[in-house]
Amino acid sequence: MRMPPFSSFLRTLFTLSSLSRVRTTSAQAQHAHNLLRQHQLKSMPTIPFLGSLFGSSSSSSKMSYPDQRTDDEWRAVLTKEQFRILREKGTEAPFSGKYDKFFSDAGVYTCAGCDAPLYKADHKFKSGCGWPAYFDSIPGAITRHTDSTFGMQRIEIVCSNCGGHLGHVFKGEGYPTPTDERHCVNSVSINFSPKDKIVEGGKADGKEGEAQK
């Protein structure tokens, strides 16, 4: 049996060694690529909008309020639209509410859910925003919470007695009011009592009026 030349043997050994190095280098490169990708995925910033789009970060639903009625009890006394806005934090269409263009010289705006006094008639001003606007509230009647839904930072306002959602408050918009605040309130969330008198128990005296300017 004739042995192959030594040069051929060396050539074959070099070729096998080269192929082994190529395979090893490729495996190492793939491993490095996988590590880099894992690092990139872990370090990618989250997108606040996506998280807030599927849930509210408002803390109002976690608070405890004096009026502790259940959802079933609220459904028994509220209309479907009132429940949607007061209890589920909905919003009525702009310029559609009965109190958007309603003004009176005296009276009290109360919570449509529990009848607690919220705003005095002289707190209301013309903002042109499409919802009833107030520059102040009755002391202690309103509770504020940070609302991060839809990727925005807003201040939600709720009734301090029952936690019913009223709307949002905005500041620094330049309205010529004493507080430079705009309490943007859903008409569905409130009622109006024409007499500017708060009786014992936190109720507003008088029947709903329809004065219009």
Residues 140 and 88 in one domain: yes
What pLDDT score does 61 carry? 56
Cite the beta strand spans of the chain per DSSP E: 108-111, 117-120, 124-125, 133-134, 142-147, 154-159, 165-171, 181-185, 190-193, 198-199, 203-204
Pinpoint the alpha helices (H) of 56-145.
71-77, 80-82
- Could you tell me the two tokens for 133? 């606007």
Strand order in the sheet with 154-159: 124-125, 133-134, 181-185, 165-171, 154-159, 142-147
Residues 55 and 24 in one domain: no
What pLDDT score does 152 carry? 86
Whether residue 211 is contained in a domain is answered as no
Pairing, β 108-111 against β 190-193: antiparallel
Could you list the pLDDT tens digit for every one of the 213 residues in the chain?
A: 444 443 444 344 444 444 444 344 445 545 544 544 443 333 333 333 333 333 334 555 567 899 999 999 999 999 999 999 999 999 999 999 999 999 999 999 999 999 999 999 999 999 999 999 999 999 999 999 999 887 888 999 999 999 999 999 999 999 999 999 999 999 999 999 997 655 545 555 554 444 333
Helix (H, G, I), strand (E, B) or coil at 6: helix
Residues 9 and 113 in one domain: no
Residues 181 and 139 in one domain: yes
What pLDDT score does 207 carry? 47
Residues 150 and 200 in one domain: yes
Pairing, β 190-193 against β 142-147: unpaired
Residues 197 and 92 in one domain: yes
Residues 40 and 69 in one domain: no
Whether residue 129 is contained in a domain is answered as yes
What pLDDT score does 211 carry? 39
What pLDDT score does 63 carry? 76
Please give the backbone phi and psi of residue 171, each rounded to the nearest 5 degrees, phi first. -125, 150
What pLDDT score does 210 carry? 40
What's the CATH number where 95 sits? Answer: 2.170.150.20
Residues 105 and 172 in one domain: yes
DSSP structural state of residue 187: G
Residues 103 and 132 in one domain: yes
Identify the domain containing residue 23 by its residue range: 1-44
Total-model pTM:
0.66
184 part of the active site: yes
What pLDDT score does 76 carry? 98
Residues 125 and 24 in one domain: no
- Residue in 111, 159, 162, 184 annotated catalytic: 184
Residues 37 and 134 in one domain: no
Residues 84 and 128 in one domain: yes
